[in-house]
Amino acid sequence: MTISLPVQPVVATPSSDDSLLPVYKRFPVTFVSGSGVELIDSDGRSYLDLTSGIAVNALGYDDPGISMAMRDAMASGLLHVSNLYHTEPGAQLARRLTELSGLARVFFCNSGAEANEGAFKFARRWARAASGPARHEILALRGSFHGRLFGTLAATDRPGYRAPFRPLAGGISIVERDLGALASALAADTVAAVIVEPVQGEGGVRVLDFAFLRALRELTRQHGAALIADEIQCGLGRTGTFLACEQAGIVPDMVTLAKPLAGGLPMGAVLMSKAIASAVNAGDHGTTFGGGPFITSVALHVVDRLADPALLEHVRETGEWLGTELAALAARCGRVRAVRGVGFMWGLDVHQRAADVAQRALDAGLLICTAGDHTLRLLPPLIATREDLARGISILEGVLS
């Protein structure tokens, strides 16, 4: 006897999302597969992806190394055992991240915002131990984006995201991107930590000046505050070095990572100095899924690939070329006011509404995202070649004109 199973209809474009909470404005397209730098929609149409799932898919789609790492990780049969017990892959990944960053200890969690929330708690724990409860404030910079959870929202300088949820978590404030303003805020001796994105992503792709970052490192040290580098978007190879901070020659007290860390699986991490780690005790923080054996096995593979000097050199060289090509595009088409970026992270200020340009780019087979109302953001997979990027620029030029 043959049993015929009901056949799932091919999903029409776009999916019917009636049961999902409508917190996202989604483009009207449903993706069904991907390979390298291309995604395929439910009508079989292909798109060049210069967004990488918002800086997550650094190795592109259907990467054979990630598939093999997942198969190998499955072989143990352990997806999860909880943090009540030891497993080997998490310990190995933590060791690798400390070697690569020069920091001493690692806490694993499940997202970027969660990594920053953890870093805020660790900073307060350390500052309280060193100087008492008065030293508790967290400062974030104008233009920053550190997440949308309850604490991180207060450190995220996006009025539209903040307003509906006031009052925001206390003890967290936004300070101008200015050394004078930071120095006077730090002088009060109430600051536990300053959090900074070396390249502000959502805030318009702003590469912070290296001299500014070095001076901030010095200021925080002088005033006994921790410096947290949020490298959730700009870290893990995106700027052409494993961490963006390396280019400024600074080692922060904590670095937060997420996005590409586990190749598309949800993972975050807080890397911290010995001094911070030694102030944190058992029971001070935790999360059920953080650092499980499956995800850390996959992340170990991804981190090795993203730390590969050949990949980093490709990002530096191709990124420099990309910047020149984007500046040439701006000069040619007259519709781009400014081009900013580094490595594989670029922003273009446009006269038109950025969301409209991104929609027209999608119609033309190109995925780009936005960073504010008038900034287009390009976050290509780090494996993209000059040919891929040149194709993207040519589509974008047609769309802009």
The verdict on 246 binding ligand PLP (CB under 6 A) reads: no
Nearest approach in angstroms of CB 111 to ligand PLP is: 4
- Give the interface segment with ligand PLP, choosing from 13-21, 71-79, 126-134, 144-152 (CB under 6 A): 144-152
Closer of 73 and 113 to ligand PLP (Cβ): 113
Task: Identify the residue among 146, 217, 314, 316 touching ligand PLP (CB under 6 A).
Answer: 146
- Closest-approach residue to ligand PLP (CB): 112
Least CB distance to ligand PLP at residue 347 (A): 13
Return the residue matching tokens 């997806």.
Answer: 79
Task: Name which position in 113, 315, 345, 383 contacts ligand PLP (CB under 6 A).
Answer: 113
Q: Which of 49, 157, 230, 253 binds ligand PLP (CB under 6 A)?
A: 230
Q: Left, alpha or beta for 343 (phi > 0: left; psi -120 to 50: alpha)?
A: left
Instruction: Answer yes or no whether residue 377 interacts with ligand PLP by CB under 6 A.
Output: no
Kindly state whether residue 143 participates in binding ligand PLP, applying the rule CB under 6 A. Answer: no
Q: Which is nearer to ligand PLP, 101 or 116 (CB)?
A: 116
CB 228 within 8 A of CB 253: yes
Residues 69-88 touching ligand PLP, rule: CB under 6 A, are none
Nearest CA-CA partner of 125 in 223, 255, 226: 226
State which residue, 240 or 268, has the beta carbon closest to ligand PLP.
268
- Total site size for ligand PLP, rule CB under 6 A: 15
| Min CB(256)–ligand PLP separation in Å | 7
Q: Distance (Å, rounded) from C-alpha 225 to C-alpha 119?
A: 13
- Using rule CB under 6 A, residue 201 touches ligand PLP: yes
Q: Would you give the DSSP letter of residue 104?
A: -
Q: Cβ of 249: how many Cβ atoms within 10 Å?
A: 10
Q: At closest approach, how far in Å is the CB of 3 from ligand PLP?
A: 43
283 in the Ramachandran plot: left (φ > 0), alpha (ψ -120 to 50) or beta?
A: left
CB 213 within 8 Å of CB 181: no
Please give the Cα distance from 119 to 220 (Å, whole number).
Answer: 16
Q: Say if residues 376 and 350 touch (Cβ distance below 8 Å).
A: yes
Among 240, 156, 175, 227, which residue's Cα sits nearest to residue 196?
A: 227
Q: Choose, by CB under 6 A, the member of 60, 89, 147, 292 that binds ligand PLP.
A: 147
Q: DSSP readout, 145-188?
A: ---SSHHHHHT---HHHHGGGPSPPSSEEEE-S-HHHHHHHHHT
User: Among residues 101, 233, 239, 247, which is the contact residue for ligand PLP, using CB under 6 A?
Assistant: 233
Nearer to ligand PLP, 87 or 110 (CB): 110
Q: Is 117 in the site for ligand PLP (CB under 6 A)?
A: no
* Helix/strand/coil for 226: strand
Min CB(197)–ligand PLP separation in Å: 5
Answer yes or no: are the C-beta atoms of 370 and 54 closer than 8 Å: no
Residue 310 identity: A
The DSSP code for 13 is: S
Find the shortest distance in angstroms from Cβ 123 to ligand PLP: 16
State in angstroms the smallest separation of the CB of 53 from ligand PLP: 11
Q: Which residues does residue 49 pair with via DSSP β-bridges, in sequence order?
A: 367
Out of 101, 111, 241, 273, the only residue in the binding site for ligand PLP (CB under 6 A) is 111
Nearer to ligand PLP, 52 or 87 (CB): 52
Q: According to the binding rule CB under 6 A, does residue 112 interact with ligand PLP? A: yes
Q: What are phi and psi of 130, to 5 degrees?
A: -80, -40
Name the minimum Å distance from CB 131 to ligand PLP: 27
**What distance in Å separates the CA atoms of residue 285 and residue 291, rounded to the nearest whole number?**
13
Of the candidate spans 5-13, 36-44, 98-106, 140-148, the one that interacts with ligand PLP by CB under 6 A turns out to be 140-148
Q: How far is CA 96 from CA 82, 93, 297, in A?
A: 21, 5, 12
Binding stretches for ligand PLP (CB under 6 A): 54, 111-113, 116, 145-147, 197, 201-202, 230, 232-233, 258
